[in-house]
Amino acid sequence: MGLLLMALAGCTGSEGTGSQAGSPATPATGAAAQGRAGRRGGPPAQPGAEADAIAVRAAPVRREPLSSLYSTSASLRADRQAIITARTRGVIHDLLVEEGDTVAENQKLAALENDEQRIALARAVTTRDTLVRDLERSRNLHQDGLVSDETFEAVRRQSEDAVQAAALAELELSRTIIRAPFAGVIVRRHLDVGATVADGSEVYDLADLSPLYADVEVPERHVISLAAGQVVRLIADALDREIPAVIERIAPSVDPETGTVKVTLAIAGTADVRPGAFVRVNIVVETHAEALVVARLALVAEGTRWYLFRLEDDGTVRRLEVTLGFEEGDRVEVLGVVGAEEIIAEGAMVIVSGAPALTDGARVQVVASPDDAGEGDGVATR
């Protein structure tokens, strides 16, 4: 019985130590030890600092010009635009230009059948010439006292009427040729060859496209800083690119209902834009030549407050509330830091990707995206 109790005691001791009897206990290492520690309720193993870091992208604060813009929209219009109409009745015999053709002032655009007008002119000219000769003979006879005053006056009136009738017939014949009243581009053709027209029938639309104009209404407080000849940023939605434009003129009066002033912009003539095109207009009203500028992506909004995260030398970030100045596209001016004796200096690195997920003091790892290749110092990497 005693031997049996001793054997049981020996087995129990072997299971409790996890080592062979008579051998020193071997300490657990690596993952096995961490696993056992966890199972026993001890503190979990802490991962490395690099595994804790949040991947972000950073970019430097730059000092560069930044402008305050007044943004609006408008439609382009031609400076001169006219509907070319027939000035007499007839049938279109020939169309000499087509849509898109550039024409000069007084250039022939179309011709009407003119047989009737030519015959009428020939008859009027014959009658005029006959009566002019009769007037000359009557004048000589009147001077010799062989023709009464009444007879001479009647011949004179008939001669004058014949001259005017011939001039009218010549005018009617000239109106069978439709001409351009000014230089421009044919925007639209309304009729085809063979169409019958009357006085006032529309034949062509003509527009002077160089330059094109846009009229915008600008608040009076911004007009003070504007001047004729000032360059304006104009973007046509159809092209999605900037078109050169300048301020042509500024109206001398203010609209009392809106408090705005009409500003006319001139756009250099180009085949890429047409009258009626919708454009977005950005007018520079003030410029800060030495603004501290960050990317819009660096800013995090909380209510009406704005924050950014500055990268520190130890790999952490500092959360700073900032006041903002001008905004232009994806660039924003930083005027200063709120409620702290801190400054944002030129060249300081700020987080531009991943900022919304950060907290003050968070450890970060700055990485580069594939798009950053060749950007030089535009994006930082560590």
- Nearest Cα residue to 206 out of 112, 110, 101, 277: 101
User: Looking at the chain, which residues constitute the CATH 2.40.30.170 domain(s)?
Assistant: 70-79+210-288
pLDDT in tens, 226-279: 999 999 988 887 787 888 899 999 999 999 999 999 999 998 766 578 888 899
Q: What is the structure's pLDDT at 269?
A: 61
Bridge partners (DSSP) listed for residue 309: 319
**Residue 358: CB atoms within 10 Å:** 20
Q: Mean pLDDT lowest for which of 17-31, 146-160, 297-311?
A: 17-31
User: Looking at the chain, which residues constitute the CATH 1.10.287 domain(s)?
Assistant: 114-175
User: Looking at the chain, which residues constitute the CATH 2.40.420.20 domain(s)?
Assistant: 55-66+289-378
* Predicted confidence band of residue 25 (pLDDT cuts 50, 70, 90): very low
pTM of the model: 0.59
pLDDT in tens, 60-70: 999 999 988 89
Phi, psi angles (nearest 5°) of residue 136? -65, -45
Q: What is the homologous superfamily of the domain 70-79+210-288 according to CATH?
A: Efflux pump adaptor protein, beta barrel domain (2.40.30.170)
Q: What is the structure's pLDDT at 243?
A: 86
114-175 is a CATH 3.30.530 domain: no
* Predicted confidence band of residue 311 (pLDDT cuts 50, 70, 90): very high
pLDDT in tens, 189-229: 999 999 999 999 999 999 998 889 999 999 999 998 899 99
pLDDT above 50: residue 42: no
* Among the four given CATH numbers 3.40.190.10, 2.30.110.10, 1.10.10.10, 2.40.420.20, the one describing domain 55-66+289-378: 2.40.420.20
pLDDT above 80: residue 19: no
Phi-psi region for residue 150, left (φ > 0), alpha (ψ -120 to 50) or beta?
alpha
